[in-house]
Amino acid sequence: MKWRLALISEHASPLALVGGVDAGGQNIAVAELAYHLAKLGYGVDVFTRWDDANLPETVEWKPGVRVVHVQAGPTTFVPKEELLCYMDEFTENAIRFIDRQTDPYKLIHAHFFMSGLVAANIKRSLGIPFVVTFHALGEVRKQIQGSCDQFPPERFTIEQRVICEADALVALCHQDREDLVNLYEADRAKIFTIANGFNPDEFYPIDKPLARIVLGLDPAEPVILQLGRMVPRKGVDNVVRALGHLRRAYGMVARLLIVGGESDLPDPDLTPEIGRLQELAKEEGVEQWVTFTGRRQRETLRYYYSAADVFVTTPWYEPFGITPLEAMACGTPVVGSAVGGIKQTVLDGETGFLVPANDPQALAAKLAALLYSKKLRLVMSEEAIQHVQDNYTWFEIAHQTANLYELVLSGQLTPAKMQRRTMLPSAIQRDVSAIITPK
Ligand code: UDP
């Protein structure tokens, strides 16, 4: 083993079922990062809140990865917006656990602002350096969601403190990096842009007719897929409206599959967003073309992506967005909002199209083009697979992240040197090897 590393992800456990309101990309990112870092030889413990009394304190999750459940508040689900008051308890219990270990942690990688707070307090007590990925920034959320944002206002001061005290900040995309600088005056020299990824063992193209047979879908119908957490900011209403527009303005119909929700069957009581979208589909006159599936397990997702002619993701904003990568890995072109990570991962006109957020008519125009032209879909499909294979496997992302850790631990991140290292991930590797390779 190289050395022991702690990831802290207070609300997003690798063990959770994703697809509901509070479990999604962060759970996947932490899980995949932990798994791939362990494959690179690191001993990885993921600290997360103990939210299920049936689980033991530690779970040997994968070779080299343990999930450590930290007592903080009730041992049941608590929405993330209500967790801040338990973070002192989280910190105390995490420190107790750390003190019991014979092999100390050399570094902490915190995920989300509350874990950043815990890591900053552990650093003050035990001197362990830390890196933070915010996944979503309070100031951005406030701008977009306004009064719908339920997090306590202390979030902003905590984020400022974490930004100052962290040894390095991971931005998920260029937009995230600019937000850290412009909204928080973060030191550019401390920010490293490292994306999220996809797992090629999980996401690869399946023959479309076969995927449709497996899912019981009509072999001839055009299929548009929307897959993700069912929350208003994901802008799924844009897709339903676009479907109405597609019919009225272009005389085209297509099946819209909507995957995600709190349960495996679409239940508007458990997932209010489904109810809202069902109403909207009726207003648009497309209810017979919209199919809600509910949440789906990861091993079936490649069938959904492969069965679709086009994948759509039109959130109001998106700190990164893993689903477009998964879709492209399965060879499905993506139409996405030109926001956050999506505007970086989807190559406009090459692997899909970018449209303004909240613009169903622009979305319908791109859907019409893609549904009309099989040739366009095939060209984009090939480009998409190549693009994500070249740039976004978790293997590559874990390498970049490990290089950042080694850079932090090398003690050579002095401000002057850091200034030269404000760069894109591929450059990190070259720089780090220059520093840490023995002469
Ligand atoms: N997801 C899933 N099952 C579902 C719906 C979503 O496994 O029914 C996964 C999806 O495959 C992706 C993650 O949830 O890996 C969502 O990540 P993304 O970054 O796109 O969105 P976030 O949840 O961070 O807003």
Would 293 be classed as within a structural domain? Answer: yes
Would 232 be classed as within a structural domain? Answer: yes
- Nearest to residue 108, comparing CAs of 30, 202, 185? 30
pLDDT at position 281 is 98
Are 274 and 303 contained in the same domain?
Answer: yes
Ligand 1 and 135: CB distance under 6 A: no
CB 165 within 8 A of CB 172: no
Q: Ligand 1, from 13, 27, 229: best to mutate by most atoms within 8 Å of Cβ?
A: 229
Q: Give me the residue label for tokens 């967005």.
A: 321
Are 125 and 140 contained in the same domain?
Answer: yes
pLDDT at position 420 is 36
Would 203 be classed as within a structural domain? Answer: no
Would 202 be classed as within a structural domain? Answer: no
Would 333 be classed as within a structural domain? Answer: yes
Q: Which atom of ligand 1 is nearest to the CA of 28?
A: 15
Are 351 and 240 contained in the same domain?
Answer: yes
Would 331 be classed as within a structural domain? Answer: yes
Ligand 1 and 24: CB distance under 6 A: yes
Ligand 1 and 406: CB distance under 6 A: no
Q: Predicted ipTM?
A: 0.99
Nearest CA residue ID for atom 23, ligand 1: 24
Alpha helices in 251-322 (DSSP H): 272-283, 298-307
CATH number at 189 reads 3.40.50.2000
pTM assigned to the model: 0.93
Span from the CA of 39 to the centroid of ligand 1 (angstroms):
23
State how many domains the chain has. 2
CB 413 within 8 A of CB 177: no
pLDDT at position 298 is 94
Are 237 and 331 contained in the same domain?
Answer: yes
Are 221 and 163 contained in the same domain?
Answer: no
pLDDT digits (tens), the chain, 439 positions: 899 999 999 999 999 988 777 789 999 999 999 999 999 999 999 999 999 999 999 999 999 999 999 999 999 999 999 999 999 999 999 999 999 999 999 999 999 999 999 999 999 999 999 999 999 999 999 888 877 778 999 999 999 999 999 999 999 999 999 999 999 999 999 999 999 999 999 999 999 999 999 999 999 999 999 999 999 999 999 999 999 999 999 999 999 999 999 999 999 999 999 999 999 999 999 999 999 999 999 999 999 999 999 999 999 999 999 999 999 999 999 999 999 999 999 999 999 999 999 999 999 999 999 999 999 999 999 999 999 999 999 999 999 999 999 999 998 775 444 433 433 444 444 344 443 333 3
Identity at 406, one-letter amino acid code: E
pLDDT at position 411 is 86
Ligand 1 and 198: CB distance under 6 A: no
Are 258 and 331 contained in the same domain?
Answer: yes
Are 338 and 425 contained in the same domain?
Answer: no
Ligand 1 and 121: CB distance under 6 A: no
Ligand 1 and 340: CB distance under 6 A: no
Q: Which atom of ligand 1 is nearest to the CA of 320?
A: 19
Would 364 be classed as within a structural domain? Answer: yes
Q: Which atom of ligand 1 is nearest to the CA of 321?
A: 19
CB 397 within 8 A of CB 197: yes
Q: Are strands 58-62 and 43-49 parallel, antiparallel or unpaired?
A: unpaired
Helix, strand, coil fractions of the chain, as percent rounded to 5 = 50, 15, 35
pLDDT at position 439 is 31
Span from the CA of 197 to the centroid of ligand 1 (angstroms):
12
Q: Ligand 1, from 11, 15, 17, 18: best to mutate by most atoms within 8 Å of Cβ?
A: 18
Are 122 and 256 contained in the same domain?
Answer: no
Are 25 and 144 contained in the same domain?
Answer: yes
Are 171 and 273 contained in the same domain?
Answer: no
pLDDT at position 414 is 54
Are 403 and 337 contained in the same domain?
Answer: no
Are 132 and 67 contained in the same domain?
Answer: yes
Question: Domain of 405?
Answer: 4-197+394-436
Would 160 be classed as within a structural domain? Answer: yes
The phi, psi pair for 35, rounded to 5°, reads -60, -45
